[in-house]
Chain A
Amino acid sequence: MPSRLARKLAACEFVITAEVAPPRGCDPSGFLRAAACVAPWVDVVNVTDNQGANMRMTPLVAAGMLLREGIEPVMQLTCRDRNRLALQSDLLGAATMGIRNILALTGDGIGCGDHRQGRAVFDLDSVLLLQAIGAMNQGMDMNGAPLAGASDFFAGTAAAPEAEPFAATRPKLVKKAAAGARFFQTQAVFDPRRLAAFCDTVRPLGVQVIAGILVMKSAKMAEFINRNIPGLKVPHEVIERLKGAADPSAEGVRIAVETALQCSAICNGIHIMAMGRDEVVPQIVAAVR
């Protein structure tokens, strides 16, 4: 039976996803609390993979824990920390545990995280990882050698609708689709017109679009994100709006709600990046549902 995410997207139902970061340590209680806080409001919960190249518990185990709690995860998997053997072997583990949704990612550069002296791998990239997942669904490894049993992964990947020059990113989107991506969970969207143009580009590729919605707390946080988080770019106007607000934290939620509403008319779902403020997820979901 396909995953809930696959079923809903196949039925063209609007999906809402959120993300939680695995624990930084071997005490999972905070992680499980955060997941339990957002899970009732969303369809699936993404489990990030050493995001920002900061070391945390492997998403394989964290996603497995969510399954045990009855929460359907999207396991994010990056190429930064694993070579082709490790990627495939984690995928086999994920399939065996019942993890169905995979978000195949390249991964942020190791220099932006907390282990800057480490060696980044990048043996494969997101396109090749998607191909490997496709092969595994056919009961083969990436070299075409048979495996005991086939997986049933529903694979997606990231996209950056507001990246400039956009034309330079298009060939990779085509390749991601050809390699088996079924959905894009995008970087934070701020300009719905750009999202609409992006959807027009990728719709013919048969990939569904889940728009990233970033919840900001303050102008300072937005500036921090711009400086430190690759691929996230909060526009100047949004920062000004946060600066001018009497209650920037509430304004951040308002911006997220407005953007989510606009996006919901354009694409197949939204992905809420609450940046640790899981308690605001219900408010955004309520507005969109």
Chain B
Amino acid sequence: MIVSTQKPLEEIVAALEGGSRVFIIGCAKCATVCKAGGEEEVFRMQDALTAAGKEVTGTIVIDETCHMLRTARDLRSRREQVEEADFLLVLSCGAGVQSVAEAGEKKVVAGTDSRFLGNIRRFGRFEQRCSLCGDCRLSDSGGVCPVTVCAKGLSNGPCGGMEEGNCEVDRNSRCAWVTIYERLERQGRVERLEVITPARDFAHKRHPNSLTLEK
């Protein structure tokens, strides 16, 4: 899922400068799970903005704001409230904000920061394990992604800053390459680590990216 966090209220209010009427849009998928833009957060935002002197013309929680057609359709179903608003405040990831923007000509305000593609450890705890690098090598690295879990994204082993098995960048985190070594050692395939992994192919990472499935 896409992990996002809500921006501070002052920042949101500052972005709404020049308008008093706001329509709030949440997302029922990722933003709900990470409590950045679910039903509860949308209601709370409505209260906070009202307290800040804004008029909330309406709210909606769209099933998946990243779904462009559905977002446009759901906004059409609330056309009056949307039209009345000076701003559409979107509490979803950046993909959702852009679905909303593309659905009309209203000014949009992003109410969250999209952080990372996250695994869910438990309720309220998310961990970044995949960077969507487009060049997956997990089969060779014991199922631990060095591109993501290594703070430097190194392809060929630990850097010189590894200490007591921990990461130079975050002393409280295990070095990804030590984890990879230990896993491969248990599987009896550490010799795999003596083969040089070639430079990553960032051609896969050019953006804006798109994909069309062939029938």
User: Contact check: which of B154, B157, B168 meets A169 at CB < 8 Å?
Assistant: B157
**Which residue of A is nearest B199, CB measured?**
A128
Contact B160 A163 (CB under 8 A): yes
Contact A175 B156 (CB under 8 A): yes
Contact A230 B160 (CB under 8 A): yes
B120: interface (CB < 8 Å): no
Contact A171 B168 (CB under 8 A): no
Q: How many residues of B contact A (CB 8 A)?
A: 32
Contact A109 B151 (CB under 8 A): yes
**Which residue of B is nearest A168, CB measured?**
B181
Contact A106 B154 (CB under 8 A): yes
B140: interface (CB < 8 Å): no
Contact A128 B155 (CB under 8 A): yes
CA distance A171 to B190 in the complex (A): 8
Contact A109 B182 (CB under 8 A): no
Q: Which residues of B contact A158 (CB under 8 A)?
A: 160
Closest Cβ–Cβ distance, residue A59 to chain B (whole Å): 17
Question: How would residues 117 to 152 of chain A score, 1 for a CB under 8 Å from any chain B CB and 0 otherwise?
Answer: 000101111111001000000000010000000000
Contact A171 B157 (CB under 8 A): yes
Q: A122-B154, A142-B199 are in contact. Are A106 and B177 (CB under 8 A)?
A: no
Q: Which residues of B contact A230 (CB under 8 A)?
A: 159-161, 168
B153: interface (CB < 8 Å): yes
Q: Which residues of B contact A179 (CB under 8 A)?
A: 196
Q: Which residues of A contact B164 (CB under 8 A)?
A: 164
Give residues 121-180 of B contacting A (CB, 8 Å). Answer: 151-165, 168-169, 175, 177-178
A interface, CB within 8 angstroms of B:
80, 84, 105-109, 111-112, 120, 122-128, 131, 142, 158-160, 163-165, 167-169, 171-172, 174-175, 178-179, 187, 230-231, 233
B interface, CB within 8 angstroms of A:
151-165, 168-169, 175, 177-178, 181-182, 185, 190, 193-196, 198-200, 202
